[in-house]
Amino acid sequence: MERGTVFVIGAGPAGLFATRKIAAAGHRVVVFNRDIKPGGLAEYGIYPQKFHMKAGLRKQFAKTLGMPNVQYFGNVPVSSAGALSLGELRQWNPAAMVFAVGAQGTKKLGLPGEEAKGVYSAKDYVYYYNQLPPFASRDFSSGRRVAIIGMGNVMVDIARWLLQDMPGQKPEEVTVIARRGPFEVKFDEKEFDHIEMHLDRATLRAELDRIEARIRACDQDITKVPESTFPWLNKPVSGPVQGRLSFRLLTSPIAIKVDAQGRICRLTVVENLLVRKGDTTAAKATDQTTDLEYDTMIFAIGDVVDPALGLPYEKGGYLTNPDTTDPGRAAYEVFDPQTGKVLEGCYVVGWARKASEGLVGKAKYDAEQGANPVLQYLAGAAPRTAATPEEIRRELKRKGLRVVTKEDVNLLVRAEEAQAKARNLPALKFSTNEEMLAAMEKERQAA
Ligand SMILES: Cc1cc2nc3c(=O)[nH]c(=O)nc-3n(C[C@H](O)[C@H](O)[C@H](O)COP(=O)(O)OP(=O)(O)OC[C@H]3O[C@@H](n4cnc5c(N)ncnc54)[C@H](O)[C@@H]3O)c2cc1C
């Protein structure tokens, strides 16, 4: 039975899969999204060339937004410091709120020189090459020698972009810098296949020799590297390729040096030991440092959530109910440490709940699991009358926000498809909000 309107904040995979489940149970859902377009990282993070995957997800999202009991308000960031705060959302009297805003904060290492030109966070960088405004229009220039910190799938995407798909001058060398060793890689073999032709086999073998004593001390057998994590070491490169990919293992950055223009020119790194920690390993810094030459550096070490949203926050995450009696419910309930109680009717799902955790499939699972306690809560709650979508839209307009509806999104999709066809491209995205809004308007007038 319908109990009122549920607000879902964030229209990435988690928000939209939660929306689908809640709307399919018969409730009205209003989705508020920071970006004009829905999709989150499926639209603006997943590698641009993964056309098939992106198209499949867009289709599912369009179907969810097309449900008659779902409303979409894009171009509406929710923030304690912005035009629309949590308190204002509450005044519209939703029956429940589901936060699916992803992990929008940046994890920093706090290195001296971190603010230098040419030093980027992976999230900003992938937003840039996936053309999310305003990142699409910012300077993310790279030079001849690029260091990527971290060795997960995001590193692979960024190396792929730099070495293969980036327009203009590509780097001569991309070096992956990782605090642990070759057995602790986090990327998937299938993903690395996209860049294996750039892997400098001889340099990687030399690197393994360089660190062998340190990983042997941790009971790891260097001869097992090809069979366990780097099968490409036993495969020849198919032909000469431009752009080398190298690894610097058991190494952590500690300081960034800048040139006269304020751009990174050198990175001071420290050598690490590998130590056992239960059934895993950890890096332990030595006092041995080296300076390496780089003109660009990208942190790909995962993200944290954005504290400015206004939910109770601690150590990079939003707080959830610590009660262990019903973890399937508690893990999704927002918890207020000041009152020692859950924030009634407030839930968190996806990367907003566990930053940088897993692929779209995992975000979907988490959203659907998280929708269960929402539905249970609604079943027991007294019916509530929320502001109507029309009232909400009017109020947002009054605040100066240019709200984008699901009908507008359909117009935008049509405009982008027409442009792509006209230019004979597999896909095209407008890279500023102004262009998107103008294209919608033009389509509306033509309709
Ligand atoms: C570089 C990269 C590549 C990836 N490649 C793959 C891949 O190939 N395959 C795969 O399966 N998975 C991939 N993933 C993982 C996948 O993108 C995530 O699992 C998934 O997007 C997480 O979904 P989410 O909805 O929790 O967060 P997000 O996708 O981040 O969505 C968050 C949404 O919330 C909105 N939002 C943010 N802040 C606010 C706010 N304050 N107010 C209102 N709205 C807000 C955003 O606009 C966005 O729409 C990749 C991730 C990254 C970073």
333-377 per-position pLDDT tens digit: 999 999 999 999 999 999 999 999 999 999 999 999 999 999 999
65 contacts 2 by C-beta, under 8 angstroms: no
Q: Give bridge partners of residue 267 from the DSSP assignment.
A: 256, 292
| Mean pLDDT across 260-286 | 96
Residue 287 has pLDDT above 90, yes or no: yes
**What is the per-residue pLDDT for 81?**
87
**Quick check: helix, strand or coil at residue 70?**
strand
Cα distance between residue 159 and residue 298, in whole Å: 10
Q: pLDDT tens digits for 30-88?
A: 999 999 999 999 999 999 999 999 999 999 999 999 999 999 999 999 999 888 999 99
Ligand 1 centre distance from Cα of residue 200 (Å): 32
Token digits of residue 343: 């924030």
Bridge-based pairing of strands 28-32 and 264-277 is unpaired
> Which amino acid residue places its CA nearest to atom 6 of ligand 1?
46
> Which amino acid residue places its CA nearest to atom 15 of ligand 1?
359
| Mean pLDDT across 293-316 | 96
Share of the chain above pLDDT 90, in %: 93
Ligand 1 centre distance from Cα of residue 411 (Å): 23
Residue 217 has pLDDT above 80, yes or no: yes
Residue 96 has pLDDT above 70, yes or no: yes
Mean pLDDT over the full length of the chain: 96
CA distances from 127 to 105, 130, 190, 192, 441 (A): 13, 5, 23, 21, 25
Residue 2 has pLDDT above 70, yes or no: no
Going by pLDDT thresholds of 50, 70 and 90, the confidence category of residue 264 is very high
Residue 270 has pLDDT above 80, yes or no: yes
Cα distance between residue 227 and residue 344, in whole Å: 51
What are the pocket residues of ligand 1 if the criterion is a CB atom closer than 6 Å to any ligand atom?
A: 9-15, 32-35, 40-42, 45-47, 50, 77-79, 100-102, 104, 126, 154, 157, 309, 350-352, 358-360, 363
Residue to probe by mutation, ligand 1, list 21, 43, 44, 46, most atoms within 8 Å of CB: 46
